[in-house]
Amino acid sequence: MLQRSESLDPVFHALADPARRSMVERLSRGPASVSELAQPLEMSLSAVMQHLQVLQESGLVRSEKVGRVRTCRIDPQAMTQAEQWLNERRKSWERKLDRLGAFLAETDPNKER
Amino acid sequence: MLQRSESLDPVFHALADPARRSMVERLSRGPASVSELAQPLEMSLSAVMQHLQVLQESGLVRSEKVGRVRTCRIDPQAMTQAEQWLNERRKSWERKLDRLGAFLAETDPNKER
């Protein structure tokens, strides 16, 4: 069970920072250069590059350099994997609640028969 | 934009560890004691307590001690919030792709008129 979702470690780690989430938010609206990503963040270009590296290592973002411009874009697979993990846990928890509700209704002493 | 999702920092941080995800996975199937959480993890009870504290501080899990037994359960709000954040980013990215596809189809020189 621990091994199966190992690749989620770097994804959730990358998402645990507000600057990196802001970069993902920007990229979900379309590709952007590193300077475009840096613009709303009030941090140095080198700090942005470090965050970008974490995002790339997690698989959430990929980038390509053409001439002097590095263009970044979302790689959706890692995001979908993280979303699915959360979705499955939530559904499992809701099913548990449903079964509990059904059990309580079934064993309700005030229930009309 | 950075402030709005600040409470997601500890949630994603908590999920970035396979042992903590395993605990959330177990709890999504129903409440459990600390020893039940520890059982499949091959780690000391004190290590499990530390992971539990991270999960509790993130809001993903809450626990209650009755007598000598601490019972842990999922608190779904934080999980839903993280899932929604990912879902919105993915949808935004898919809309962008759809618009790009429509634009390319519209401007296709081979398109029959």
**pLDDT at residue A80, rounded to an integer:** 93
Tokens representing residue B76 in the block: 């779904």
Residue A85 pLDDT > 90:
yes
> Band of the pLDDT at A4, cuts 50, 70, 90?
low
Of A9, A19, A76, Cβ closest to residue B16 = A9
Secondary element (H or E) of residue A61: strand A61-66
- Res A30: pLDDT: 93
Give the list of residues 6+ apart from residue A104 with CB closer than 8 angstroms, or none. Answer: none
* Amino acid B113: pLDDT: 55
Band the pLDDT of A96: cuts 50, 70, 90: confident
Whether A3 shows a pLDDT value over 60: the answer reads no
In angstroms, the separation between the Cα of residue B88 and the nearest Cα of chain A is: 9
Among A28, A89, A96, the residue with its CB nearest the CB of B25 is: A89
**What value of ipTM does the predicted structure carry?**
0.86
Beta-sheet strand order (sheet of B32-33): B32-33, B69-74, B61-66
pLDDT band at B3 (very low <50, low <70, confident <90, very high): very low
Please determine, for residue A8, whether its predicted confidence score (pLDDT) is greater than 70: yes
Q: Which residue in B3, B4, B9, B12 has the most chain A C-beta atoms within 10 A of its own C-beta, making it the best mutation to test that interface?
A: B12
> What pLDDT shows up at residue A103?
79
Residue whose tokens read 């990929």: A62
Are A20 and A55 spatial neighbours (Cβ–Cβ below 8 Å)?
Answer: yes
The C-alpha atoms of residue B57 and residue B53 are separated, in whole angstroms, by 6
pTM of the model: 0.87
Kindly report the nearest CA distance between residue B20 and chain A, in angstroms: 10
Q: Do A18 and B2 touch (CB under 8 A)?
A: yes
In 10 A of CB A31, how many CB atoms?
A: 14
Lowest mean pLDDT among A3-7, A51-55, A89-93, B55-59: A3-7
Instruction: Give me the count of residues in chain B.
Output: 113
Say whether B12 and A9 touch across the interface (CB within 8 A): no
Tell me the pLDDT band of B109, cut-offs 50, 70 and 90: confident
One-letter amino acid for residue A73 of the chain: R
Instruction: Name which of A16, A100, A10, A1 is nearest B24 in CA terms.
Output: A1
- Considering only CB atoms, B83 lies closest to which of A8, A11, A87, namely A87
Q: What backbone phi and psi angles, to 5 degrees, belong to B72?
A: -110, 145
DSSP chain B: -TTTTTTHHHHHHHHTSHHHHHHHHHHHTS-EEHHHHHGGG-S-HHHHHHHHHHHHHHTSEEEEEETTEEEEEE-HHHHHHHHHHHHHHHHHHHHHHHHHHHHHHHT-TT---
- Taking residue A62's Cβ as centre, other Cβ atoms within 10 Å add up to 12
Mutation site for B-interface testing, chosen from A4, A12, A91 by largest number of B Cβ within 10 Å? A12
Q: How many CB atoms lie within 10 A of CB B94?
A: 12
Task: Answer whether residue A2 shows pLDDT above 50.
Answer: no
Chain A closest CA to B67's CA: distance in Å? 24
CB contact under 8 A, A30 and B87: no
pLDDT band (50, 70, 90) for residue A111: low
How large is the average pLDDT for residues B67-71?
Answer: 94
Q: Over range B46-56, report the average pLDDT.
A: 96
Residue B110 pLDDT class (50, 70, 90 cuts): confident
How far away is chain B from the Cα of A74, in angstroms, using its nearest Cα?
8
pLDDT in tens, A45-76: 999 999 999 999 999 999 999 999 999 999 99
Nearest to B76 among A9, A85, A93 (CB): A93
